[in-house]
């Protein structure tokens, strides 16, 4: 199978993951959030995610896989690269989510969610490609790719959403610290997942907890008071309809 086809497949799957994350994260608040800002930050996410994924691949993943093949030894530079990549990405996210336009509209959580979806989409595209390249076209690589496509945008979406919530409330240091630790954990988990898929058992519950917190708590906090009242009314009506079914 040609390399061009693998690249196209991986990139397409990354965009599908972004679309799923948009639907799952923002469908409940459709019409209540700043969609213009959300789309703009999605574009920022594509750019930042491309750089973030490339650095984590070149400086961490490839060395770890070479170590597993006993081709080289791991050094302290790999750990330092993980920490520096995580801190740099978290700082850039914090800077983007503390712009005046975001703070004025209180759209930190929703803009953060879409920023994270863009980052995660590029991450899943690159790592889906690497999975197909590393394992070939087989059952394991396809399952690995599907998990990357679904989980990575949700993980980054949740982290950026939380950063947006804290940063717009003046807790910039706290948001950067928590996000940096989370991303360091994530970058170190990826090589382990490539080596043994069983590690998804650790990562999936973490991602789903963060996703649920984003949808039920963090994203609704970006709504104005009037929007919150209308949102609660719609949620209550939907709950009554489900109860009467």
> Which pLDDT score, from 0 to 100, does residue 68 have?
74
Q: 111: buried, middle or exposed (CB in 10 Å: 19+, 13-18, 0-12)?
A: buried
Helix or strand run (H / E) with residue 245: none
Chain centroid, CA 230 distance in Å:
29
Which residue reads 């940096």 in tokens?
A: 180
pLDDT digits (tens, 9 = 90+) for 167-216: 888 899 999 999 999 999 999 888 888 888 889 999 999 999 999 999 98
Q: Given CA atoms 24, 30, 35, 37 in this order, what sign does their dihedral have?
A: negative
Given a cut of 80, whether residue 89 has pLDDT beyond it is: yes
Helix (H) or strand (E) holding 113: helix 108-135
pLDDT at residue 227 in the model: 67
- Count of CB atoms within 10 A of residue 174's CB? 13
Q: Which domain holds residue 222?
A: 3-244
State residue 169's pLDDT score.
Answer: 85
- Given a cut of 80, whether residue 228 has pLDDT beyond it is no
Single pTM value for the model = 0.89
21-30, 32-41, 222-231, range with the lowest pLDDT? 222-231
How many domains in the chain?
1
**Contacting residues for 91 by C-beta, under 8 A, at least 6 apart:** 176
User: Where is 64: in which H helix or E strand?
Assistant: helix 62-68
Question: What integer pLDDT is reported at residue 242 of this predicted model?
Answer: 66
pLDDT given for residue 224 in this prediction:
67
Tokens of 170: 């003046």
CB 200 within 8 A of CB 147: yes
239 pLDDT band, cuts 50/70/90, is: low
Residue 79: the pLDDT is: 86
């Amino acid at each position: 199978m040609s390399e061009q086809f693998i690249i196209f497949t991986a990139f397409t799957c990354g965009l599908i993951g972004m679309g799923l994350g948009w639907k799952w994260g923002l469908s409940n608040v459709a019409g209540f959030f700043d969609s213009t800002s959300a789309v703009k930050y999605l574009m920022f996410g594509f750019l930042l995610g491309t750089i973030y994924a490339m650095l984590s691949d070149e400086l961490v993943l490839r060395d770890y896989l070479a170590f597993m093949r006993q081709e080289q030894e791991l050094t302290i530079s790999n750990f330092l690269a993980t920490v520096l990549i995580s801190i740099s990405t978290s700082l850039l996210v914090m800077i983007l989510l503390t712009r005046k336009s975001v703070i004025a509209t209180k759209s930190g959580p929703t803009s953060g969610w879409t920023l994270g979806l863009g980052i995660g989409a590029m991450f899943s595209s690159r790592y889906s490609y690497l999975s197909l390249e590393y394992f070939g076209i087989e059952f394991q690589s396809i399952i690995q790719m599907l998990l990357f496509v679904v989980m990575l945008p949700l993980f980054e979406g949740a982290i950026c959403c939380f950063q947006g919530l804290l940063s717009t409330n003046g807790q910039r240091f706290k948001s950067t610290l928590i996000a940096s630790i989370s991303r360091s954990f994530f970058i170190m988990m990826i090589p382990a997942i490539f080596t043994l898929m069983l590690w998804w058992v650790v990562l999936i519950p973490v991602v789903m907890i963060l996703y649920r917190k984003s949808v039920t708590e963090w994203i609704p906090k970006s709504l104005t008071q009037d929007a919150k009242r209308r949102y609660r009314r719609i949620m209550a009506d939907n709950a009554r309809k489900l109860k009467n079914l």
